[in-house]
A and B are shown apart, each in its own frame.
Chain A
Amino acid sequence: MLTGAELSASIDKLFELRKEIWKAFVDTFIMLGISTTVAILIGGLFGIFLFLSSDRQFLQNKSLYGVLGGITNFMRAFPFVILMIAMSPFTKAIVGTGIGPIAASLVLAIAGSFYFARLVEQNLREVPRGIIEATESMGASPFTIIKVLLNEARSGLVLSVTILCISLLSYSAAAGMIGGGGLGDLAIRYGYYRYQTEVMVFIVIMLSIMVISIQGLGNLLATRLDKR
């Protein structure tokens, strides 16, 4: 058990590191914010087209589905760390640098996009086919049909965003390798390499609180939106 003296020494150490910890929080939020937003947009579009080009849907096209599905599988097969290294020339070209939270966000966004694309495809597949048919029978345009699909799948989509966000939070720890910073990186540098266990414990608790909050918020929103 921790004695009172040990506990207050640990708190002092954490206090000394307050600037580092604060910066790690900010970096984590930057990475999470950028990558989740981009992944929702790119992955969402990709997922919609994956679904629409699949069998019995109105853009049904075996080769398109094959190409989209192939790209998705290929990108998802990359271990995140390797993707980071492989993408570094690309991130340099786009953000001007291969390191830092913005560069890391780009890699996270790409990894997240293809992950999210599959989640979107799966959610749209769960919308009863009859609803698409009824919408078609009214003479709705393809764009309107897509809006109906998204609205019917909205509660599952919110849960998918929740999963995406939590996965990206955990991936972002590895982004420390390219100087991405963030909480996970700090935990490794101080908690592991410098044997400052209290930093590790504190950050793991912080990350847990974040995961619990994101999941809780997602569940709440999904339940509110679900009228089925």
Chain B
Amino acid sequence: MSDMIVLNDVTKSFLSDRSIKNKDGKPHWFTAVEPTSLSIQQGEIFGLMGYSGAGKSTLLRLINMLERPDSGQVIVDGTDLTQLSASDLRIARHNMGMIFQQFNLMSNRTVFDNVAFNLTVSGYPSRDIHKRVMDCLDIVDLTDRASHYPAQLSGGQMQRVGIARAIAPSPKVLLADEPTSALDPATTRSLLTCLRDINEQLGVTIVIVTHEMSVIRRLCHRAALLHQGQLLEVADIRDGLIQATTPIGQGLVYED
């Protein structure tokens, strides 16, 4: 198995809001990601897990450079994204789909147009777009909702549109930022099945951020356990159990 995503000593800090200052009066920088190295294999479902403020979402957003790391390398499919020009980065992003906790669908476009939009942006041949959109809606079982607007859908349906939109240009990587956190348990289960099918049938590498242990147990092959910006360990998941070895990691895993 080859590496699909490699993070080399990436770091990221943010300027705190103005009310928080250091003792010397200078602005306070909050470190979201301490130096972190990680590699994720092709075809893997990899979890990023931790409590709020652990830096898991920031780490995910470093992978497609929605956040630019302060230092370190982000290598996806053999290319160091930190070295790319703005236009080359846009091309590299066609190879990475992303889904979000709040779905982030365009509310003034139909389900069909939301999916078609990503294909147009990715430079998909326009005569093939219709078929590709319908194929992707078929994968997430929503062909009958193609002409609906997002506001007419349930949360689970909206997230499935998000998935169809993300996988439409056949990316090698799918980044999922708390995709089930706004959904009820039953919807979560069917969504996880959908993600697993996409991984198994299309071979898409999935990186998923979640604070729900059950999501990691059901879906992931391996998971990084994060705490206050630090990577504690990368745990294997065997027989639906997270094999944590560090004390804090075990605390994270068994508290749930």
Tell me if A227 and B107 are in contact (CB < 8 A). yes
Q: Is A228's CB under 8 angstroms from B64's CB?
A: no
Expressed in whole angstroms, the Cα–Cα distance for A155 and B64 within the complex equals 32
CA A195 to CA B107, docked complex, whole Å: 55
Q: B102 touching A128 by the CB < 8 A rule?
A: yes
A226 CB contacts on chain B under 8 angstroms: 108
Nearest B residue to A148, CB-CB: B106
Contact of B102 among A130, A151, A154 (CB under 8 A): A130
Tell me the minimal C-beta distance from B48 to chain A in angstroms: 16
* A86 cross-chain contacts in B, Cβ below 8 A: none
Write the B207-235 contact mask toward A (1 if CB under 8 angstroms, else 0): 00000000000000000000000000000
Within 8 Å by CB of A130, from B64, B96, B100, B175, lies B100
- CB-contact partner of A139 in B105, B108, B121, under 8 A: B121
Count chain B CB atoms within 10 A of each CB in A131, A136, A138, A140 and give the residue with the most: A138
A70 to chain B, nearest CB (A): 21
| Chain A residues within 8 Å of B94, by CB | 138-139
Please tell me if B93 contacts chain A, counting CB pairs below 8 Å: yes
Q: Which residues of B contact A140 (CB under 8 A)?
A: 90, 121
The answer to the question of B186 belonging to the interface, with a C-beta cut-off of 8 Å to chain A, is no
> Would you give the shortest CB distance from B115 to chain A, in whole angstroms?
11
Give A160 Cβ to nearest chain B Cβ, in Å. Answer: 16
**Contact A225–B93 (Cβ < 8 Å):** no
Which DSSP category, helix, strand, loop or mixed, fits chain B's interface? mixed
Interface size class of B (residues with CB under 8 A): 20 to 34
Interface size class of A (residues with CB under 8 A): 20 to 34
Q: Is B104 an interface residue, CB under 8 A from the partner?
A: yes
Q: For the complex, is B142 an interface residue (Cβ under 8 Å from A)?
A: no
A152–B106 Cα distance when bound, in Å, is 7
Q: Are the CB atoms of B107 and A138 closer together than 8 Å? A: no
Complex Cα gap A211–B160 (Å): 45
Instruction: Establish whether residues A136 and B66, one from each chain, have CB atoms under 8 Å apart when the complex forms.
Output: yes
Does A137 sit at the interface, judged by CB under 8 A? yes
For the complex, is B198 an interface residue (Cβ under 8 Å from A)? no
Give Cα A131–Cα B105 distance, bound, in whole angstroms.
Answer: 7
- Give Cα distance in the complex from A139 to B66, angstroms: 10
Quote the shortest CB–CB distance from B12 to chain A (angstroms).
Answer: 16
Is the beta-carbon distance between B100 and A134 smaller than 8 angstroms? yes
**A138 and B109 within 8 A (CB):** no
Question: In the docked arrangement, what's the CA distance between A135 and B97, Å?
Answer: 11
Answer yes or no: A133 CB below 8 A from chain B CBs: yes
The answer to whether A228 and B151 have CB atoms under 8 Å apart is yes
B108 nearest CB neighbor, chain A only: A227
Interface status of A3 (Cβ within 8 A of chain B): no
Residues of chain B contacted by A225 (CB below 8 angstroms): 108
Given contacts A130-B100, A144-B121, contact A152 B107 (CB under 8 A): yes
In the complex, A225 Cα to B108 Cα: how many Å?
8
With known contacts A136-B66, A137-B98, A227–B118 Cβ distance under 8 A = no
* CB proximity to B under 8 Å, residues A84-129: 128
In Å, the complex CA distance between A133 and B60 comes to 13
In the complex, A63 has a CB within 8 A of chain B: no
Extra contacts, 5 of them, besides A138-B118, A227-B150 (Cβ < 8 A), are A137-B93, A148-B106, A151-B106, A151-B108, A152-B107
B contact set with A: CB distance below 8 Å: 64, 66, 89-94, 96-98, 100, 102, 104-109, 117-118, 121-122, 149-151, 175
3 interchain residue pairs of minimum CB distance: A139-B93, A134-B104, A130-B104
Q: Can you list 21 A-B contacts with CB-CB less than 8 angstroms, sorted by A residue number?
A: A130-B100, A130-B104, A131-B107, A133-B104, A134-B100, A136-B93, A137-B64, A137-B93, A137-B98, A137-B175, A138-B93, A138-B98, A138-B121, A139-B90, A139-B91, A139-B93, A151-B109, A152-B106, A152-B107, A227-B149, A227-B150
